[in-house]
């Protein structure tokens, strides 16, 4: 197994899928000649040419719709939206066209596109470059939403997403492209549904996804070493559909749940997971589930305010200690 950076894992998945199928194309702003803002398509323009690695104009709704239309006729576009904040402009085509076309055509037409985009809070990018939009995508029937927390998932999820016949939105993170992790040397396809236990534990389940998985793992170490609490960490790499069975299994084992999200609490992953826990394992609970979420504010520029607005591992530790009265 080789250790790759997150962006290298994405690049490898792009490259392999383009080599495997001449109908796979990539589209986005600066992804071709310039190699991509986060290098996920570096070198592919030279390798596959301008017809297949397409530098688009800054027309998010337009090129997303163009990719969707191309997918109607069998192309497999991987659309990179430079930042999730700009994806708002493409939601019309993604939601109204891609997500609904199978249903409203009675199964005649499908839109096998992949849209990938980095969200999350980076460093002082301000209100219009710090959106966490996964909550928006995961409420749309007909659209799959996945969010890799490590290079192995980034690689395997993209490969499966390209081959899957549904539209898939891949939620990445501005700060994670240089994260390192092991990726299998052989070809690997990650399931688009389910969840992974990132750390076994018996006392409490910490649910995380994407960057918050790392906060959960950090918190779990502290809880174990300083408080004797063994936390299980469940990585919800699939946000739509969410893994009901996985959520139930872990909560039935630990009887306590904390959901950790970088996003604001209202109408989010946390509220959704909490609802599932309520529906699936209410009588198994030893404590009321808790959310650790971001402040509900447009992201401030000031460094101190920005750090105060989003959770960190210490907040997770504090939430668990409170739950246990420690």
> CA torsion 281→282→283→287, rounded to 10°?
110
Chain position carrying tokens 């069975």: 245
Name the site residues for another protein (rule: CB under 8 A). 23, 25, 51-52, 54, 56-57, 59, 61-75, 92-93, 96-97, 101-110, 141-142, 144, 156, 160-161, 163-166, 188-193
Closer to another protein at the Cβ: 165 or 278?
A: 165
For another protein, which is the closer residue by CB, 89 or 295?
89
For 83-146, the DSSP string reads -HHHHGGGHIIIIIIIHHHHHHTTTS-----EEEEEES--SS--GGG----HHHHTT-TT-EEE
Q: What is the smallest separation between the CB atom of 119 and another protein, expressed in angstroms?
A: 23
Q: Residue 122 CB, nearest distance to another protein (Å)?
A: 27
Residue 309 to residue 319: CA distance in whole angstroms: 16
CB atoms within 10 A of CB 100: 17
Cα distances from 187 to residues 30, 190, 268, 324, in angstroms, run 27, 10, 33, 43
We find the least distance from the C-beta atom of residue 105 to another protein, in angstroms, to be 4
Nearer to another protein, 245 or 305 (CB): 245
CB of 190 to another protein, least distance (A): 6
* Cα–Cα distance list, 78 to 14, 40, 292 (Å): 8, 11, 33
**Minimum CB–partner distance for residue 179 and another protein (Å):** 22
> How many other C-beta atoms lie within 10 A of the C-beta of residue 14?
29
Output 139 or 300, the one with its CB closest to another protein. 139
**Phi and psi at residue 208, to the nearest 5°:** -140, 170
Interaxial angle between packed helices 6-20 and 151-163, expressed in degrees from 0 to 180 and rounded to the nearest 10: 30
Q: Which of 17, 60, 261, 272 is catalytic?
A: 60
Q: Any idea what the Cα angle at residue 174 is, between residues 168 and 179, rounded to 5°?
A: 95
| Residue from 129, 230, 255, 280 carrying the catalytic annotation | 129
CA torsion sign for 201, 154, 263, 65 is: negative
Q: Which is nearer to another protein, 74 or 325 (CB)?
A: 74
Respond yes or no: is residue 60 known to be catalytic.
Answer: yes
Cβ neighbours for 244, distance < 8 A, ≥ 6 positions apart: 276, 280
- Identify whether 172 is a catalytic site residue: no
Place of tokens 């290298």: 8
Angle at 269 between CA 82 and CA 308, to 5 degrees: 75
Q: Between residues 117 and 205, which has the closer beta carbon with respect to another protein?
A: 117
For residue 314, the minimal CB distance to another protein (Å) is 35
| Residue 163 CB, nearest approach to another protein (Å) | 4
When the beta carbons of 142 and 300 are compared against another protein, the nearer one is 142
* Active-site residue list: 60, 129
């Amino acid at each position: 197994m080789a250790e790759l950076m997150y962006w290298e894992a994405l690049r490898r998945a792009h490259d392999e899928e383009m080599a495997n199928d001449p109908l796979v194309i990539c589209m986005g702003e600066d992804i071709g000649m310039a190699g991509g803002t986060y290098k996920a398509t570096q070198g592919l323009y030279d390798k596959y040419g301008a017809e297949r690695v397409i530098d688009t104009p800054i027309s998010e709704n337009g090129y997303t719709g163009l990719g969707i239309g191309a997918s109607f006729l069998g192309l497999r576009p991987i659309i990179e939206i430079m930042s999730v904040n700009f994806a708002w402009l493409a939601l019309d085509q993604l939601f109204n066209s891609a997500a609904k076309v199978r249903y409203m055509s009675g199964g005649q037409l499908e839109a096998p596109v992949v849209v990938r985009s980095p969200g999350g809070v980076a460093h002082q990018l301000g209100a219009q470059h710090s959106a966490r939009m996964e909550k928006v995508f995961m409420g749309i029937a007909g659209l799959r939403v996945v969010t890799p927390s490590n290079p192995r998932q980034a690689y395997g999820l993209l490969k499966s997403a390209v081959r899957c016949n549904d539209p898939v939105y891949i939620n990445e993170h501005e700060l994670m492209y240089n994260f390192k992790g092991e990726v299998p040397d052989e070809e690997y396809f990650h399931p688009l549904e389910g969840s992974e236990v990132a750390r076994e534990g018996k006392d409490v389940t910490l649910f995380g996804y994407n960057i918050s998985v790392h906060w959960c793992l950090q918190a779990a170490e502290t809880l174990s070493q300083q408080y004797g609490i063994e936390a299980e960490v469940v990585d919800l790499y699939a946000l739509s559909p969410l893994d009901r069975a996985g959520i139930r299994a872990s909560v039935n084992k630990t009887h306590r749940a904390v959901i950790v999200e970088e996003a604001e609490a209202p109408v989010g992953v946390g509220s959704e997971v909490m609802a599932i826990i309520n529906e699936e394992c209410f009588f198994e609970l030893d404590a009321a589930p808790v959310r650790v979420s971001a402040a509900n504010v447009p992201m401030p520029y000031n460094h101190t305010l920005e750090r105060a607005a989003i959770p960190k591992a210490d907040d997770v530790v504090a939430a668990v200690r409170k739950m246990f009265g420690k």
